[in-house]
Chains A and B, each alone.
Chain A
């Protein structure tokens, strides 16, 4: 069995941590009195046990949460559990927040060790972000067609600590047809779970051009069980694209109105809808090859 590994990228500017399915790319700009080296050491130190902590409770974390479902014991597992419980939906398991919760935990470990100006932990597209007062962070959103969908500019005053993306391009299975759904929230666990659920909601139930198979066929121990995950999306009319995006946008707007997320960008086949976050998410008209 392989253990966790760490590698410095870009001549030490970034840190890569990997263990099993977890891949983190970490950047940290030290504030006066701190050093990048210390931050990376703290991150690697925290990372060492994360997968084992999660695996210890994996069966529970793969079960749907409900009002009376048991709570996990581990710190990260509890963050996952809390994040999905906050979001009203009919079905969700704590695994919907796993990537974000891991990113949050590693970011917190760095901040506890060193003062940092800007820092991020990118866990396969689910990003935990720290910005000291006055700092800004700009992300590019990419579409499935390789084009840039737009930019997200986050300033410290926005109080956004998590940016997560879910959809057909990701490694995880999705119940919906969204190309990508990017969510901004206070922390990465919440952003991750919300992005997953909003991406699931971008859908056209019973559309003949959408192929689905039970999640278990693709991944025997998927937390989605026999729920049908999308494997192929055929041609869609622009009316259908808008209908699918609106279905997701309704849920995203509910979450935003309840103060659970700051905003979201929902994309499907070159069309993007933005919920909330005026001024932060700038959608650029993409050129198609």
Chain B
């Protein structure tokens, strides 16, 4: 039987209660509170409370019985109750596991806390790099299985769309399992290695620099080549005669560029390959790659055409630099008007460092994206569509594990949230395969009653703030 082969053999003995369940991987015990996650016993149900106080540190703090923690939670700060560990009820006619009320400024607030099973979910990944990672629409694979594709290039970064229902349940079983596992690791801020068809091998981890073909990316470019010319032109004039900022997108040439003209930089006869866009701005000077400025070049002189002998002069000083300042070269023209590399003068070297200084660190951002379906909404209210309506009317605030969630316009409740804003291990999975993600809806008690909320299931906050509740500091 297919399901049988899917099961991994590791079973563990849960010692959380006297029943001592023997739990297969990916399954939960008789209580549905503890589960076997790849051979590790994990607790599914303790609520996680994120302090709104400006607590430092982001590590989970176990809520231990003792004087220093006892009872001071509500006095010092109003905590945000998150759905992590709330468990979920499926089918969903039962009220969501925890519907918590707490007074806020005299208004009884209700947070409906549930962990949704998201079959329609995935992540959008932004990778700060100018390197070519693969063509738009190229397939992204983990362990050979397709889990998503390369999307657009955005400013200084490349975008991936990973997961989604087509990969989770629309393909083979292996594809679904690998996709679910990769999404889970990405959402829980773990590193995932992936390959892009006809592109690079990539290690993505939320909040960390991407590792592209084994090399850790350091900086995000300061701007495109043209923008870099505009930003630094004044610092170059007088020290060099010509500057070429090498960029896969738009390579800038100082003497032709508007910025150079304004500083009375004379023409130099240095000519770059590629297609001229506007004066001093060139497209496609080389192929995309992992070399200088996201091109495939390692020797910048290869993007130069023959120097214009009618304009250039021996001794002309040429500075070539990438958009991150990480690569640069200084050249002087010899008597045959050929560039010869020379040690860079101090001022020129400093300008490269200045470019690097102005680059932001390169990081990967992972945004969870999922849709709250009818069944999840039913755990919140007896009348699911009213929840959608109140979210749209901004009566209900939606958060994922305490992280602000962007709610897409249009139908349904489709949200995006930064996984870095959530506590550790906020996500789980079910063998469907689908992700289990925390989602919270917060609104006034009055609005909750009006939308048909499960008023009888509302619990005062102190009744869920038990010793088993995990408290974590709010991430800065």
| Interfacial residues, chain A to chain B (CB-CB below 8 A) | 1-2, 5, 7-11, 19-21, 51-52, 55, 58, 142-147, 169, 171, 211, 213-214, 217-221, 231, 289
Contact = CB atoms under 8 A, between A and B. Distances in A.
Contacts of A19: 17
B392 interface: no
A20 B93 contact: no
Contacts of B384: 146, 289
A251 B264 CA distance: 98
B242 to A, nearest CB: 68
Nearest to A55: B18
Contacts of B16: 1-2, 20
Question: B17, B20, B27, B92: which has the most chain A beta carbons within 10 Å?
Answer: B17
Question: A5, A8, A9, A146: which has the most chain B beta carbons within 10 Å?
Answer: A146
Interface residues on B, range: 35 or more
Contacts of A221: 21-22
B358 to A, nearest CB: 54
Nearest to A143: B93
A5 B466 CA distance: 10
Given A7-B463, A142-B94, 20 more contacts: A2-B16, A5-B468, A20-B16, A20-B30, A21-B17, A51-B17, A55-B19, A145-B91, A146-B92, A146-B374, A146-B384, A169-B91, A171-B30, A171-B32, A211-B3, A213-B4, A217-B7, A217-B24, A221-B22, A231-B3
Nearest to B20: A55
B32 A20 contact: no
List the 10 shortest-distance A-B pairs measured between CB atoms, nearest first. A20-B17, A142-B93, A21-B31, A21-B30, A220-B22, A55-B18, A146-B93, A146-B378, A221-B22, A144-B91
A251 to B, nearest CB: 24
A55 B4 CA distance: 29
B223 to A, nearest CB: 51
A165 to B, nearest CB: 12
Nearest to B43: A2
20 contacts: A1-B18, A10-B456, A20-B17, A20-B18, A21-B17, A21-B31, A51-B19, A55-B18, A55-B19, A146-B384, A147-B93, A171-B30, A171-B32, A211-B3, A214-B4, A217-B4, A217-B24, A218-B24, A219-B30, A221-B22
B24 A220 contact: yes
B448 to A, nearest CB: 15
A9 B458 CA distance: 8
B17 A7 contact: no
A102 B90 CA distance: 23
Contact of A1 (B15, B29, B92, B93): B15
A219 B459 contact: no
Question: A145, A211, A214: which has the most chain B beta carbons within 10 Å?
Answer: A145
Given A144-B91, A213-B1, A219-B30, A9 B18 contact: no
Interface of B: 1, 3-4, 7, 11, 15-24, 27, 29-32, 91-94, 374-375, 378, 384, 456, 458-460, 463, 466, 468
A7 B466 contact: yes
Nearest to B22: A220
B17 to A, nearest CB: 3
Contacts of B22: 220-221
Q: Is the interface of B mostly helix, strand, loop or mixed?
A: loop
B17 A1 contact: yes
Nearest to A13: B456
B17 A2 contact: yes
Given A21-B17, A143-B93, A146-B92, A289 B4 contact: no
A55 B18 CA distance: 7
Nearest to B385: A289
Given A211-B3, A213-B4, A289-B374, A220 B11 contact: yes
A217 B3 contact: yes
Question: A1, A5, A147, A220: which has the most chain B beta carbons within 10 Å?
Answer: A220
B96 to A, nearest CB: 12
Contacts of B374: 146, 289
A45 B7 CA distance: 41
Nearest to B19: A20
A281 B185 CA distance: 48
Contacts of B3: 211, 213, 217, 231
A1 B31 CA distance: 14
B27 A9 contact: no
B24 A20 contact: no
A146 B375 contact: yes
A220 B23 contact: yes
A9 B463 contact: yes
A214 B5 CA distance: 12
Question: A11, A19, A55, A219: which has the most chain B beta carbons within 10 Å?
Answer: A219
Contacts of B91: 144-146, 169
B29 A21 contact: yes
B14 to A, nearest CB: 9
Contacts of B466: 5, 7
A58 B17 CA distance: 13
A55 B20 CA distance: 9
A222 to B, nearest CB: 9
A191 to B, nearest CB: 19
Contacts of B93: 142-144, 146-147
A97 to B, nearest CB: 15
A147 B22 CA distance: 35
Contacts of B378: 146
A143 B468 CA distance: 32
A133 B256 CA distance: 99
A288 to B, nearest CB: 11
A132 to B, nearest CB: 23
Question: B19, B92, B384: which has the most chain A beta carbons within 10 Å?
Answer: B19
Contact of B27 (A5, A7, A142, A218): A218
B18 A52 contact: yes
A11 B460 contact: yes
B25 to A, nearest CB: 11
A127 B391 CA distance: 36
Contacts of B19: 20-21, 51, 55, 58
A289 B15 CA distance: 43
Contacts of B18: 1, 20, 51-52, 55
